[in-house]
């Protein structure tokens, strides 16, 4: 069973506009949620995170929103830039001794110049 | 500061052959992870090391996969024998400690089993 779901495989937006990437989860015990970004032939790189006790975290052009009641989070990128074109993975961290990251399938973002 | 280094970057082998992947984490990072990434999927944890100790290997298929992290630095992941379904990208990551949110990933080794 997939505990972290990214249901849209791809998203295309115009440069300068907002990109909204969505993620849903099923496990209420996750204590942190993260977004990783991946360029071709490179490993994923950490982008931004949010604690389960927060509802918003902002870092420059990137903002993550968390809706715990809906078990949903989203990453907003504004304004979008061509260099943002990449695969974005939503991940969730479980607490406890065997803490680990559970990743979604990823969404490919294309920002058109 | 050098990132996580993995080699080889690409490997093509025939089924039933053995294969090994090598990872050198970021200096000072005590925690090392091996992930499997199938096509169109996110990374899935295979094993996590704290220094030289494997603290979570619950997802490692132990009949054919093995890993070691001698001296708590470099690590090797081995598959013997490889099967067609093992074709994937094998990612190594490291972090300062196990509770760190940020993991630093290497570029991965793309394995093709024919």
pLDDT of the residue at B1: 66
**pLDDT value, residue B48:** 94
With contacts defined as CB-CB under 8 Å, which chain A residues touch B108? 43
CB A14: neighbour CB atoms within 10 A?
Answer: 12
Task: List, in sequence order, every residue forming a beta bridge with A91; answer none if it has no partner.
Answer: A34, A103
Tell me the C-alpha distance between A90 and B60, whole Å: 23
Beta carbons of B40 and A105 less than 8 Å apart: yes
Q: Residues B78-89: what's their mean pLDDT?
A: 97
pLDDT at B31: 94
User: Stretch A89-112: mean pLDDT, rounded?
Assistant: 92
Contact check, Cβ <8 Å, B42/A105: yes
Q: Is B102 in CB contact (< 8 Å) with chain A?
A: yes
| pLDDT given for residue A95 in this prediction | 81
- Residues of A with Cβ-Cβ distance to B101 under 8 angstroms: 32, 34, 46, 49, 93
Mean pLDDT for chain B overall: 94
Q: Is the pLDDT of residue A5 over 80?
A: yes
pLDDT of residue A99: 83
List chain A residues with CB under 8 Å of B105: 43-45
Q: What is the 3-state secondary structure (H, E, C) of chain A?
A: CCCEECCCCEEEEECCCCEEEEEEECCCCEEEEEEEEECCCCCCEEEEEEECCCCEEEECCEEEEEECCCCEEEEEECCCCHHHCEEEEEEEEECCCCCCEEECCCEEEEEEC
Q: Label residue A96 by pLDDT band (50, 70, 90).
A: confident
Place of tokens 């009949």: B63
- Taking residues B66-71, what's their average pLDDT? 92
| Interface subset of B 37-96, CB within 8 angstroms of A | 40-45, 48, 55-56, 58, 91, 93
Average pLDDT over residues A88-105: 90
In the predicted model, what is the mean pLDDT of residues B26-50?
95
Distance of alpha carbon A24 from alpha carbon A7, whole angstroms: 8
């Amino acid at each position: 069973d997939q505990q972290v779901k990214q249901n849209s495989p791809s998203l295309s937006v115009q440069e300068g506009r907002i990109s909204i990437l969505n993620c849903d989860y099923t496990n209420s015990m996750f204590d942190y949620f993260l977004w990783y970004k991946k360029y071709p032939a490179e490993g994923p790189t950490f982008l931004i995170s949010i604690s389960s006790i927060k509802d918003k975290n902002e870092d420059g052009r990137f903002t993550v929103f968390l809706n715990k009641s809906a078990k949903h989070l989203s990453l907003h990128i504004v304004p979008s830039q061509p260099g943002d074109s990449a695969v974005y993975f939503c991940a969730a961290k479980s607490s406890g001794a065997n803490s680990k990251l559970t990743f979604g399938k990823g969404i490919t973002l294309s920002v058109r110049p | 500061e050098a990132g996580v280094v993995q080699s080889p970057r690409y490997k093509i082998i025939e089924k039933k052959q053995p294969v090994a992947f090598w990872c050198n984490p970021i200096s000072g990072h005590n925690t090392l992870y091996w992930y499997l990434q199938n096509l169109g999927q996110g990374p899935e944890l295979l094993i996590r090391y704290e220094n030289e100790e494997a603290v979570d290997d619950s997802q490692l298929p132990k009949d054919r996969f093995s890993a070691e992290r001698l001296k708590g630095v470099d690590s090797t992941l081995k598959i013997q024998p490889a099967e067609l379904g093992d074709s994937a990208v094998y990612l190594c990551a490291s972090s300062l400690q196990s509770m760190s949110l940020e993991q630093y990933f290497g570029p991965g080794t793309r394995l093709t089993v024919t």
